[in-house]
Amino acid sequence: MTVTLFIPCFIDAVYPRAGISMVEILERLGHRVECPGEAACCGQPPFNSGYWDEARPIAAKVLQQLATAEAVVIGSGSCGAMVKKFYPELFAGRPEAALAQAVASRTWEFSDFIASKLGVTELGAKFPHKVTFHDGCHGLRELGVKQSPRALMAKVQGLELVEMAEAETCCGFGGTFSAKFPMISTAMGDVKCASAIETGAEYIVSNDSSCLMHLQGLLTRQGKPLKTIHLAEVLNHR
Amino acid sequence: MSSFVSQFKAAASVKTADLRHRQVIRTALRSYEVVRDKRKAAFQSWESARQAAAETKWEAVNHLDTHLEALTAKLEARGTKVHWASNAAQAREIITQILRDKKARSIIKSKAMTSEEIHLNDALEAAGFTVVESDLGEFIVQLRHEPPYHIVFPSMHLTRGEIKDLFQKELGDAPSDSPEDLTMVARRVMRQKYLTADVGFTGANFAIAETGMISITENEGNARLTAALPKTMVTLLGIEKVLPKFADLALFLPMLATAGAGQPMTCYNTMYSGPRQPGEVDGPEEWHVVLLDNRRTELLADPEQRDALHCIRCGACLNVCPIFRNVGGHTYGTTYSGPVGSVITPHLRGLQDWKHLSNASSLCGACTEACPVKIDLHHHLLHNRRNASTNEPAFFERLSYQAFGLLANEPGLWWLAKKIGWLTQPLQKLVKGSALDPAKAWTKTRDLPPLPQETFKDWWKNRK
Per-residue pLDDT tens over the stretch B294-325:
999 999 999 999 999 999 999 999 999 999 99
Query: Which chain B residues are closer than 8 Å to A189 by Cβ?
Result: 446
Give the model confidence (pLDDT) of B141-187 as tens digits.
999 999 999 999 999 999 999 999 999 999 998 899 999 999 999 99
Could A178 and B442 be called an inter-chain contact, meaning their C-beta atoms sit closer than 8 Å? yes
Q: Which residues of chain B have a CB within 8 Å of the CB of A216?
A: 447, 449
Band (A37; pLDDT cuts 50, 70, 90): confident
Q: Is pLDDT of B245 > 90?
A: yes
* Predicted TM-score of the model (pTM): 0.96
Output the pLDDT for position B435.
84
Out of B382, B404, B459, closest to residue A16 by CB = B459
Q: How far is A137 from chain B, CA to nearest CA, in Å?
A: 5
pLDDT in tens, A195-227: 999 999 999 999 999 999 999 999 999 999 999
Q: How far is B147 from chain A (nearest CA, A)?
A: 22
Domain around B142: 43-294
Q: Are residues B346 and B209 in the same domain?
A: no
> Looking at this protein, which amino acid is placed at residue B27?
T
Residue B55 backbone zone (phi > 0: left; psi -120 to 50: alpha; other: beta): alpha
Instruction: Please answer whether residues A219 and A179 qualify as being in contact, where contact means their C-beta atoms are separated by less than 8 angstroms.
Output: no
**Are B73 and B167 within one domain?**
yes
The total of structural domains in chain B comes to 3
Domain boundary among B359, B392, B425: B392
**What residue ranges do the domains of chain A occupy?**
2-117, 130-235
Contacts of A9 in chain B (CB under 8 A): 408
Whether B445 is covered by a domain: the verdict is yes
In the predicted structure, residue B2 carries a pLDDT above the cut 80: no
For residues B350 and B259, membership in a common domain is answered with: no
Interface test with B, best of A24, A38, A53, A138 (most B CBs within 10 A): A53
Backbone angles phi, psi at A174, to 5 degrees: 65, 25
Report the pLDDT averaged over residues A10-27. Answer: 97
Q: Tell me, rounded to whole angstroms, the distance of Cα B213 from its chain centroid.
A: 24
- Check if A2-117 and A130-235 are the same fold: yes
Q: For residue B383, is it within any domain?
A: yes
In the listed set B259, B294, B329, which residue is the last one of a domain according to the structure? B294
Confidence of residue B254 (pLDDT cuts 50, 70, 90): very high
- pLDDT number for residue A109: 98
Q: What is the mean pLDDT of residues B197-218?
A: 98
Lowest mean pLDDT of A35-44, B172-181, B393-402, B427-436, name the range: B427-436
Q: What is the dihedral of CA B172, B178, B180, B182, to 10 degrees?
A: 20
Distance CA A196, CA B372 (A): 30
pLDDT of res. B227: 95
CB contact under 8 A, A168 and B366: yes
Say if residue B206 is in the same domain as residue B316.
Answer: no
Side chain identity at B256, as an amino acid letter? L
Give the nearest partner residue to B408 out of A7, A41, A142, using CB atoms: A41
B163 with B54, same domain: the answer is yes
Q: Is residue B407 part of a domain?
A: no
- Stretch B133-141: mean pLDDT: 97
Choosing among A61, A221, A224, A229, which should be mutated to test the B contact, i.e. which has the most B CBs within 10 A? A221
For chain A, how long is the longest CA-to-CA vector? 52
Q: Kindly identify which residue of chain A lies nearest to residue B393, measuring between CA atoms.
A: A51
Same domain, B230 and B314: no
For residue B304, being part of any structural domain is answered with no
Looking at beta carbons, which residues of chain B come within 8 Å of A182?
Answer: 441-442, 444-445
CA B408-B414-B415 angle, to 5 degrees, is 155
| Residue to test with chain A: of B30, B400, B456, B457, most A Cβ within 10 A | B456
Residue B430: what pLDDT?
Answer: 87
> How distant is the Cα of A158 from the closest Cα of chain B, in angstroms?
28
Residue of A9, A179, A187 lying closest to B16 (CB–CB): A187
Annotate chain A with three-state secondary structure.
CEEEEECCHHHHHCCHHHHHHHHHHHHHCCCEEECCCCCCCCCHHHHHCCCHHHHHHHHHHHHHHHCCCCEEEECCHHHHHHHHHHHHHHCCCCCCHHHHHHHHHCEEEHHHHHHHHCCCCCCCCECCCEEEEECCHHHHHHCCCCHHHHHHHHCCECCEECCCCCCCCCCCCCCCHHHHCHHHHHHHHHHHHHHHHHCCCCEEEECCHHHHHHHHHHHHHCCCCCEEEEHHHHHCCC
- Would an 8 Å CB–CB cutoff place A122 in contact with chain B? no
Please tell me the predicted confidence (pLDDT) of residue B434: 85
Same structural domain, B346 and B440: no
State pLDDT tens for residues B43-93.
999 999 999 999 999 999 999 999 999 999 999 999 999 999 999 999 999
CB contact under 8 A, A137 and B418: no
| Distance from the first to the final alpha carbon of chain A | 24
Q: Does A23 touch chain B (CB under 8 A)?
A: yes
B367 min Cα distance to partner chain A (Å): 11
How far apart are the C-alpha atoms of B132 and B115, rounded to whole Å? 13
Q: Do B346 and B252 fall into the same domain?
A: no
Query: Within an 8 Å CB–CB cutoff, is residue A16 touching chain B?
Result: yes
Would you tell me how many other CB atoms lie within 10 Å of the CB of residue A201? Answer: 21
- Nearest Cα residue to B235 out of B148, B147, B120: B120
Would you state the pLDDT for residue B1? 57
| Cβ neighbours of B451 in A, within 8 Å | 13-14
> Quick count: other Cβ atoms within 10 Å of Cβ B100?
12
Mean pLDDT of chain B: 96
Nearest neighbour of B389 by CB, restricted to A9, A50, A180: A50
Write the CATH number for B205. Answer: 3.40.50.10420
Reported CATH class of domain A2-117:
alpha beta
How many of the other CB atoms lie within 10 Å of CB of B356? Answer: 21
Residues of B in contact with A191 (CB under 8 A): 22, 322, 326
Nearest CB among B364, B382, B459 relative to A170 is that of B364
Inter-chain CB proximity B22 and A178 less than 8 Å: no
Q: Minimal Cα–Cα distance from B389 to chain A, Å?
A: 6
Residues of chain B contacting residue A50, judged by C-beta atoms under 8 Å apart = 382, 384-390
Phi, psi (rounded to 5 degrees) for B424: -90, 0
Nearest to residue A41, comparing CAs of B369, B433, B404?
A: B404
Do A157 and A135 meet the contact criterion of CB atoms below 8 Å apart?
no
How far is it, in rounded angstroms, from Cα B214 to Cα B272? 5
Q: Is B226 within 8 Å of B215 (Cβ atoms)? A: no
Residues of chain B found within 8 Å of residue A143, distances taken between Cβ atoms: none
CB burial readout B418-451, b (16+ within 10 A) else e: beeebeeeeebeeebeeeebeeebbbebbbbbeb
The candidate with the shortest Cα–Cα distance to B138, out of B175, B113, B161, is B113
Examine the domain organization and report whether B340 and B438 are in the same domain: no
* ipTM for the whole complex: 0.97
Q: How far apart are CA B272 and CA B276, in angstroms?
A: 10
CB nearest A183 (choices: B12, B386, B409): B12
Nearest residue in chain B measured CA to CA from A143: B365
Cα A143 to Cα A171: distance, rounded to the nearest angstrom = 17
CATH architecture of A130-235: 3-Layer(aba) Sandwich (3.40)
Distance of CA A55 to the CA centre of its chain: 20
Both B156 and B235 in one domain: the answer is yes
CB A53 within 8 A of CB B393: no
- Using the beta-carbon criterion (under 8 Å), do A55 and B361 form an inter-chain contact? no
On whether the CB atoms of residues B217 and B256 are closer than 8 A, the answer is yes
Average pLDDT value for chain A: 97
Three-state SS string across chain B, please?
A: CCHHHHHHHHHHHHHHCCHHHHHHHHHHHHHHHHHHHHHHHCCCCHHHHHHHHHHHHHHHHHCHHHHHHHHHHHHHHCCCEEEEECCHHHHHHHHHHHHHHCCCCEEEECCCHHHHHCCHHHHHHHCCCEEEECCHHHHHHHHCCCCCCCCCCCCCCCCHHHHHHHHHHHHCCCCCCCHHHHHHHHHHHHHHHHHHCCEEEECCCEEECCCCEEEEEECCCHHHHHHHCCCEEEEEEEHHHEECCHHHHHHHHHHHHHHHHCCCCCCEEEEECCCCCCCCCCCCCEEEEEEECCCHHHHHCCCCCHHHHHCCCCCHHHHHCHHHHHHCCHHHCCCCCHHHHHHHHHHHHCHHHHHHHHHCCCCCCHHHHHCCCCCCHHHHHHHHHHHHHHHCCCHHHHHHHHHHHHHHHCHHHHHHHHHHHHHHHHHHHHHCCCCCCCCHHHHCCCCCCCCCCCCHHHHHHHHC
Residue B352 identity: Q
Residues B3 and B94 in one domain: no
Nearest by CB to residue A137, choosing from B365, B411, B456, is: B365
User: Are residues B161 and B103 located together in one domain of the fold?
Assistant: yes
According to the model, what pLDDT value does residue B464 have?
A: 73
Between chain A and chain B, the number of residue pairs with CB atoms below 8 A apart is 186
Q: From A81, A82, A74, select the one nearest A7 (Cα to Cα).
A: A74
Pair type for strands B206-208 and B213-218: antiparallel
Q: Is residue B299 assigned to a domain? A: no
Q: Identify which of B12, B17, B408 has the shortest CB distance to residue A40.
A: B408
Q: How far is CA A168 from CA A135, A140, A146, B325, in A?
A: 6, 8, 10, 15
**Cβ(B378)–Cβ(B345) below 8 Å:** no
- Using CB atoms, pick whichever of B13, B402, B456 lies closest to residue A11: B456
pLDDT tens sequence across B348-361: 999 999 999 999 99
B294, B318, B339 - which closes a domain: B294
Closest-CA distance of chain B to residue A12, Å: 5
